[in-house]
Amino acid sequence: MSKVKRVLAAAMLSAAVIGLAPAVSSAADEQRIVDVAGNALLMEDGSLWIDNLMGPVRHKLDLTEIAGMDGYGYGLTKNGELVTWASIGKPEIDPDLTGIKQLNARGFALKSDGTVWSGAGKIDGMTGVVRISEDNGLAALTEDGRLLGVGAKNLKATVPNPQNVSMIASAGDRAAVLDNDGEITLYEGFNFGADTFELIPTKLAAPAAAHVAYAANDILIVTLKDGTVWTNGAYQERYKLTKQIEGIGQAEMTVPYGDEEQFSFYAKRTDGTWVRYENGEIGELKSPYVASIEVNVSQSAVLVGDAVKIDIAEKYSNGALKKIPLSEANVAIDKPYLLKIQPDGTLKALGVGEAKVTVTSGSASKTVSVSIGGKSALQFSVVKDGIVYLPVQSTFKALGGTSAYAATSKTFSIRVGDTPVTLTLGSTTAAVNGKKISLKAAPRTENGMAVFPAHLLADAFGAKTAWDSKLKQATVSFGQASLTVVSAETAGIVKKAAQGSLSRFIGRTYWVNYFQQWDRFMKVTVADIVPDDTGYFSIVFKSASGKSYTSYAMPASNVEDLFADSYYFLNYDPYKKYNWSQAVWTQIKSGQISAGMTKEQVLLSWGTPVTKSTVTGSGTTVETWGYPSFNFVSFVNGKVTLIVN
């Protein structure tokens, strides 16, 4: 990565992901940072924050450790899978590398079988390895104490008691080996015996150390067990600690970042908190947390059976906005019998009512409400002695409940959510949640259907019930959600209201002229005019033989025009009006004309002409009618004499 990009990435991580001045939050909101690698943060829940040119992004993973530099990195899952990421894009599992034991910031990985791998494949000559360096270079320690990767290939290095090594740091041809006793031994590719080609180990003069890492310009950062952080000197003083980093205490490890022109690192304290050191400046490294949650539903008012799409996003203290799939969110529905989460990530409306959906993350939560109305009206409501009754089984089913009937006791056992209800035919005592309540009237049977007093819904569930005396139907409502229960009279009332003035045509008799290819001059009577849900009407006719014929659906204005235009229907019986021979009627019905026909006969056969012209002279009148497609017929004194078609 270029110097500019490294500086930009580091700046973005500190400003956008971390923030020197964190927003106000509770301890429960902030997760601990487990590790830092370049522009990425590993959180205690295994999730990963990556800051790139697109801004900070959180990825829900199951990582145990991370390593890397600005712009790229590597993670290890609990299952030993390698996860990689670049400056832009989502982290991806590398299917070719499994069984990983340890990661390195340069992308090297130690497998459980003792081999070392990189993106290019297996590293030659490295087998039996038990530990690799953790930072920018690659040094590998074998089970028998060989230290590989430091200096030229023909150089040898031996680490006594390799099982006592706790970690290795490396940079270029240098390696620092830290043992469990806190001693640091340095191995340098340019410091070897001329006769043996064996690297000369040199002890770093320092108190007991807890961690070691190489930073820019091969500066060694040593974290002592007393919690202080030091660096070694240059040249002859590189084998001793010469400078303490002031202002950092209680440290247990450091993670360097940046390039050769800046000396920067993160330090983890023993209490799990982090600080950032950059060219002499020290600031807190704060964990991002969920500051608020955004929850939006595709529709806040739906009908039973509808699917509701829900969008969830967590807004973090660093300004990042992360969309969360429903399957990964902490969602609570107060009335799960009304709304249910589906495998495709939507919510399905199951019953009539209002449900609240609450999404929680940390101490942040957001609640949205969904009103669910009935898709179709129930049948049948009844009014007796001023009391509105509703059907038992269909009503409670519509509310998302269940009901069972015991014929021997004439008792309905009903449950809506967590609320049990018991009703008995003929009894004015009901039970709601085990508590007895008095009904205004006993449940009864009407037209073979069990019904109950509607006020029970108000007493048991807080619903509002109302009776529409005009439409003779009941309405049950929960806030914005409602359910309609019609009576046996409602359909007729609604139909009559929809028909309006069109009802005057019902019962009238007509004779078909040209309409839907029906038999011409057939006598029909308007039996009904049926409205549909779109505001259109279908006309139902009955023939003299009692057979039904139904028109296509049409607007009300078309119904009016249909009966006003003799082209479609005649309002007289043509057979009685015109006493013509059967042969003439056969021609007319088949749309034919012949010489000698009268103008009335031509009109019934071909219809109204497009043009007319008349010439009169010497007591003779010649009249010519023109029709589409250059068809003409001429009359002499009212009789057909010429036909052109």
pLDDT per residue as tens digits for the range 459-511:
999 999 999 999 999 999 999 999 999 999 999 999 999 999 999 999 999 99
- pLDDT category of residue 4 using cuts at 50, 70 and 90: very low
* Cα–Cα distance for residue pair 495/472, rounded to 1 Å: 13
Does residue 130 carry a pLDDT above 70? yes
The tokens describing 206, both together, are 């320092």
Specify the DSSP element, H or E, that contains 470.
none
pLDDT of residue 113: 96
pLDDT of residue 374: 96
Residue range(s) occupied by CATH 3.30.457.10 in the chain: 378-488
Residue 426: Cβ within 10 Å count: 9
Strands in 464-468's sheet, in edge-to-edge order, are 378-379, 481-486, 473-478, 464-468
* Cα–Cα distance for residue pair 452/405, rounded to 1 Å: 14
- Residues 439-456: what's their mean pLDDT? 96
pLDDT of residue 10: 42
Residue 352 and residue 462 in contact, taking contact as beta carbons nearer than 8 Å: no
* Cα–Cα distance for residue pair 186/467, rounded to 1 Å: 91
pLDDT of residue 31: 81
- Residues 249-255: what's their mean pLDDT? 96
**In this structure, which topology does domain 290-373 adopt according to CATH?**
Immunoglobulin-like (2.60.40)
Which of 240-254, 278-292, 488-502 is least confident? Answer: 278-292
* Cα–Cα distance for residue pair 158/182, rounded to 1 Å: 18
- Residues 144-158: what's their mean pLDDT? 92
- Residues 188-206: what's their mean pLDDT? 93
pLDDT of residue 16: 38
Which of 42-51, 220-229, 346-355, 469-478 is least confident? Answer: 42-51
pLDDT of residue 634: 97
* Cα–Cα distance for residue pair 231/244, rounded to 1 Å: 7
pLDDT of residue 29: 59
Span 578-644: which CATH code? 3.30.1450
State CA 15 to chain mean position distance: 31
* Cα–Cα distance for residue pair 537/519, rounded to 1 Å: 22
- Residues 519-532: what's their mean pLDDT? 96
Residue range(s) occupied by CATH 2.60.40.1080 in the chain: 290-373
3-state secondary structure of 414: strand
Is the peptide bond preceding residue 380 cis, with omega within 30 degrees of 0? yes
pLDDT of residue 56: 82
> Considering only CA atoms, which of 103, 101, 110 is closest in space to residue 85?
103
**In this structure, which topology does domain 493-573 adopt according to CATH?**
SH3 type barrels. (2.30.30)
* Cα–Cα distance for residue pair 10/431, rounded to 1 Å: 67
In the chain, the amino acid numbered 526 is: V
Residue % of the chain over a pLDDT of 90: 78
* Cα–Cα distance for residue pair 343/327, rounded to 1 Å: 8
Pairing of strands 301-303, 364-373: parallel
Specify the DSSP element, H or E, that contains 298.
none
pLDDT of residue 24: 39
* Cα–Cα distance for residue pair 290/314, rounded to 1 Å: 6
* Cα–Cα distance for residue pair 13/40, rounded to 1 Å: 8
Does residue 257 carry a pLDDT above 90? no
Residue 429 and residue 421 in contact, taking contact as beta carbons nearer than 8 Å: no
* Cα–Cα distance for residue pair 405/414, rounded to 1 Å: 9
Residue range(s) occupied by CATH 2.30.30 in the chain: 493-573
Detail the DSSP E strand segments found in 362-502. 364-373, 378-379, 382-384, 387-391, 402-406, 411-416, 419-424, 429-432, 435-438, 444-446, 449-453, 464-468, 473-478, 481-486
> Considering only CA atoms, which of 177, 159, 158 is closest in space to residue 168?
177
Per-residue pLDDT reduced to its tens digit, 540-582: 999 999 999 999 999 999 999 999 999 999 999 999 999 999 9
> Considering only CA atoms, which of 156, 236, 222 is closest in space to residue 189?
156
Q: Which residues on adjacent β-strands are paired with residue 638?
A: none
* Mean pLDDT over each residue of the chain, to the nearest integer: 91
pLDDT of residue 286: 86
pLDDT of residue 378: 96
Class of domain 378-488: alpha beta
